[in-house]
């Protein structure tokens, strides 16, 4: 007999999901931090954006050894968060543990490791230079105790400008970071943070860039221990993750400005799927992106009407599309598409606040 789950697939509504799936143990502490952060941003009169970023996992066992994952590295979310900060927003950055983060993403260990742009000062005696720079060295010489480490000249300007921006954000206290791993962590955090942000009314933006699994294995169907391979092939029937955009838009944050992302691998599906999402959930913008070109072009789909009511739009409502593109040729100057996306959204959010 192959391994197989025993209960048939169920359709979860958001309510039945939260009634049956366990709350993450760290949720209360996480939300306390968010609540303090929001209070201090309200005092300063700032706009606040929730940026979700990175992929969720779906554990297959209660004592989890194996899980399904989602491909996202968190580039979109981390990069966008930096541009929102630059535009004066306070940012709640909710990201997959160990995925890219604002500022440090520029020195990712895989694409731009920081050790590669540091140098050991050439003025030091060559015999002690290498040893003294190595943290486990036993070299007792004075130069070994105080080795000079410098930044490569070619890296200095970029690092300095990034460091200044990072320190300024720290001093202003406009970035609050928290993490999720599983799709269950994500859903609970999203609901709780949204409810905290509700008091911000139209001044809150929700920028949902995380790659969230569409399927999950409810706790009640999970094997307690590691699934054994002795029984041959593995058959798992997963349930659908509830579409929480619906309660988010209509109940949790009825006055907020909501932007969701739609990822497709068939570019022909981008616009129809984005329109379908707007019709279903009645939010403000869907950003369509296709997997292979997501860093170079995206489409912003939104209802044509400028009405600020949040009713679910009936079929047949007109939509508008706006493409944002950057030059992808190797000789083009370095640009990030998120700069254009954030600039456009900030303008639309300002109009939204004014109308409200
Ligand atoms: O994190 P990343 O930069 O590698 O990818 C970003 C993205 C494609 C996950 C994001 O732009 C997106 O489309 N998020 C929503 C995915 C979805 O349809 O669930």
Which of 105, 209, 324 is the best mutation target for the ligand 1 pocket, counting ligand atoms within 8 Å of the beta carbon and taking the most? 209
- How is 173-196 classified by DSSP, letter by letter? T-EEEEEE-BHHHHHHHHHHHHHH
138-158 residue pLDDT tens: 555 555 567 789 999 999 999
C-beta of 262 in contact with ligand 1 (< 6 A): yes
Atom of ligand 1 nearest to the CA of 99: 1
Show the domain range for 346.
Answer: 262-356
- Lowest mean per-residue pLDDT among 43-47, 168-172, 184-188, 329-333: 329-333
- Could you give the CA distance from residue 168 to residue 226 in angstroms, rounded to a whole number? 47
Q: Give yes or no for residue 22 having a pLDDT over 80.
A: yes
Please check whether residue 298 lies inside any domain of the structure. yes
Check: CB of residue 286 under 8 Å from CB of residue 271.
no
CA-nearest residue, atom 1 of ligand 1: 74
Please check whether residue 306 lies inside any domain of the structure. yes
Please check whether residue 205 lies inside any domain of the structure. yes
Please check whether residue 229 lies inside any domain of the structure. yes
Instruction: State whether ipTM is beyond 0.95.
Output: yes
How many domains does the chain divide into?
Answer: 2
CA-nearest residue, atom 6 of ligand 1: 76
> Do 251 and 266 reside in the same domain of the chain?
no
> Do 62 and 194 reside in the same domain of the chain?
yes
- Of 215, 230, 255, which closes a domain? 255
Strands (E), 291-355: 297-303, 319-325
Atom of ligand 1 nearest to the CA of 210: 14
Please check whether residue 159 lies inside any domain of the structure. no
What average pLDDT does this structure show over 84-113?
Answer: 94
- Of 234, 255, 276, which closes a domain? 255
CA-nearest residue, atom 16 of ligand 1: 211
Please check whether residue 64 lies inside any domain of the structure. yes
């Amino acid at each position: 007999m192959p391994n197989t789950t025993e209960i048939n697939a169920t359709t979860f509504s958001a309510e039945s999901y939260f009634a049956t799936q366990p709350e993450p143990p760290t949720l209360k502490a996480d939300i306390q931090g968010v609540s303090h952060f929001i209070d201090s941003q309200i005092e300063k009169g700032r706009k606040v954006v929730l940026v979700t970023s990175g992929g969720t996992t779906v554990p297959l066992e209660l004592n989890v050894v194996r899980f399904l994952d989602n491909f996202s590295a968190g580039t979109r979310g981390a990069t966008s968060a930096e541009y929102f900060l630059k535009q004066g927003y306070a940012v709640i950055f909710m990201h997959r543990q160990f995925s890219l983060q604002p500022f440090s993403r520029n020195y990712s260990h895989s694409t731009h490791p920081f050790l590669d742009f540091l140098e050991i000062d050439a003025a030091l005696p060559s015999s002690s230079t290498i040893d003294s720079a190595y943290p486990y060295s036993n070299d007792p010489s004075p130069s070994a105790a105080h080795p000079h480490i410098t930044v490569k000249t070619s890296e200095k300007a970029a690092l300095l400008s990034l460091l200044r921006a990072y320190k300024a954000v720290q001093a202003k206290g406009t970035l609050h970071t928290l993490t999720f791993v599983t799709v269950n962590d994500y859903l609970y955090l999203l609901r709780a943070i949204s409810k905290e942000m509700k008091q911000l009314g139209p001044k809150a933006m929700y920028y949902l860039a995380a790659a969230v699994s569409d399927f999950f294995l409810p706790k009640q169907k999970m094997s307690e221990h590691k699934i054994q391979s002795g029984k041959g092939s593995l058959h798992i029937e997963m349930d659908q993750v509830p579409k929480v955009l619906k309660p988010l838009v209509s109940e949790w944050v009825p006055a907020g400005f909501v932007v969701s992302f739609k990822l497709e691998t068939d570019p022909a599906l981008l616009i129809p799927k984005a329109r379908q999402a707007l019709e279903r959930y009645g939010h403000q913008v869907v950003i369509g992106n296709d997997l292979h070109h997501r860093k170079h072009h995206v489409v912003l789909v939104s209802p044509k009407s400028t009405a600020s009511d949040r009713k679910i739009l009936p079929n047949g409502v007109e939509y508008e599309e706006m493409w944002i593109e950057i030059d992808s040729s190797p000789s083009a100057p370095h640009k990030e598409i998120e700069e254009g996306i954030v600039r456009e959204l900030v303008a639309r959010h300002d109009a939204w606040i004014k109308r409200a």
